Homo-oligomer: A and B are copies of this chain.
Amino acid sequence: MNAAPLSGLYAPSLALVTDLYQLTMAYGYWQQGLQDREAVFHLYFRKAPFQGGYAVAAGLALAVDWVENLQFSDDDLAYLGSLRGSKGGAMFPPEFLRYLREMKFTCDIDAMPEGTVVFGNEPIMRVRGPLLQAQLLETALLTLINFQTLVATKAARIREAAGPTDQILEFGLRRAQGFDGGLGASRAAYLGGGDATSNVLAGQRYGIPVRGTHAHSWVMAFESEVQAFSAYAQAFPDDSVFLVDTYDTLEGVRQAIHVARDMRAKGHELAGIRLDSGDLAYLSREARAVLDEAGFTETRIVASNDLEENLITSLKQQGARIDTWGVGTQLVTAYNQAALGGVYKLAALRKADDSGWDFTIKLSEQVAKTSIPGILQVRRFLNEHGKARADMLYNTAEDLPIHLILIDPADSTRRLPIRPETQYRELLEPVFRRGQRVLDLPTLAESRALAQREVQALDPSVRRFLNPHTFPVGLEMGLYEYRTRLILEKRPVRPA
């Protein structure tokens, strides 16, 4: 279910899911004869979203699917051939369009498996290959990885707030960015820790469990709540969750209990009630008391209404008796930070005479936004319990020694020596080699399980919402020193 999500949803070619400048640069590289110069790009974000301490990498399976189906169709090329510059001439000459038509994808891609915990500045993905091809991948990879990682991280935080046993249902399709905005959100929400979705297409495509209750309109379509609930129970005698707040919530709970008694007399149990408005702490406590008193101790209480991790935490602190959380808008849009600022930066370029690499850097007024040169790998050092201790970014280019001293790129006085015998694992795994996929993708459920293990293995201080502890991520000392020299060399020094 995991590996063919987009090719099934979309028309044959999605090569035009890109920014125009990728194609204008491609044409420029081709014109300059630079199309096959070997290049390395890293895809990474600078800061974890939601002012949090970590992110959950996601989107790789979608990216793989897109890359494997990448091809310019005749329609695509006809469209590109129709584009005109301001003087009326063709933007792209036919020879270049022929080149695009015949281009074969030959890049290497390494990436973190979906579900891996990732921190700022760490490459989630590394692309190595002909400059033109590697550049052409940028937009689509960012679109897929940014959004999937953002929502998977939000879901992990909601799981953190809800605790391990509560149910989390994702309800957000109607507030998503169109159909595959919603489909992608459902996928990432499940990967990051959700239990089920209301989105039927996501159920069909990805095998995510689907769940639902009923709408207010169901109640309004009957003369009374009792009639409405009874009719719903007739359709779903063992799986009914009654929405009780169409008119008056606690009165609705009483009507639900009335119907639940009839159901029990016929051998069925009311699965749950849903609260969708009002003071959820108060109403859930009252509803629980009334249900328990009537003998419906197993009937679950589902709550919804703009829920997110902070509100869930607060409701729990107030003693809310909610055991199933319906989460919509806040999860699928990652409302309080609606985008992850992932970037895709050129970090190495083979020298023209093929004598080695030029490692490249993008400067910035702020050192934190300056890119990291090299052909990077992320090494995660583990403590004696196998838990993450610190991450090291290092340059894998040949013949570079590795000094086991990590330096914080934002503050060079923060240094962490690592003992040589420390256990570690390398986070970037081979996905494509010379354009051929070499990785069997895990199922979505396997990625979800990895995400849960990864997040649980973080120290609680890194997982907390308010001022989380900063997990140590450093540059290998040689890389740090190389980067510092490069910055000083590239930055023009002018007298003030």
Contact = CB atoms under 8 A, between A and B. Distances in A.
Contacts of A200: 16-20, 23, 79-80
Contact of A174 (B25, B28, B146, B234): B146
A286 to B, nearest CB: 14
Contacts of A83: 203, 210
A140 interface: yes
A87 interface: yes
A48 B106 CA distance: 49
Given A83-B210, A184-B177, A25 B218 contact: yes
Copies of this chain: 2
A484 to B, nearest CB: 16
B31 A234 contact: yes
A216 interface: yes
Contact of A215 (B138, B203, B214, B235): B138
A492 interface: yes
A374 to B, nearest CB: 13
Contact of A173 (B8, B143, B342): B143
A198 B147 CA distance: 19
Given A28-B231, A31-B235, A212-B24, A329 B341 contact: yes
Contact of A176 (B27, B177, B364): B177
B20 A178 contact: no
B362 A220 contact: yes
Given A234-B31, A346-B221, A491-B247, A10 B210 contact: no
A88 to B, nearest CB: 9
Interface string A467-496: 000000000000000000000001110000
B175 A339 contact: yes
Interface of A: 6, 8-11, 14, 16-25, 27-29, 31-32, 34, 37, 39, 41, 62, 75-76, 79-80, 83, 85-87, 89, 91, 131, 135, 138-140, 142-144, 146-147, 171, 173-185, 198-201, 203-204, 210-218, 220-221, 231-232, 234-236, 238-239, 246-248, 251, 271, 277-278, 329, 332-335, 338-342, 345-346, 349, 360-365, 369, 490-492
24 contacts: A14-B201, A17-B179, A18-B201, A19-B173, A19-B199, A19-B212, A22-B212, A24-B236, A25-B217, A28-B232, A31-B234, A89-B238, A91-B236, A135-B217, A142-B174, A144-B179, A147-B175, A147-B181, A177-B185, A220-B346, A246-B363, A247-B491, A334-B338, A335-B338
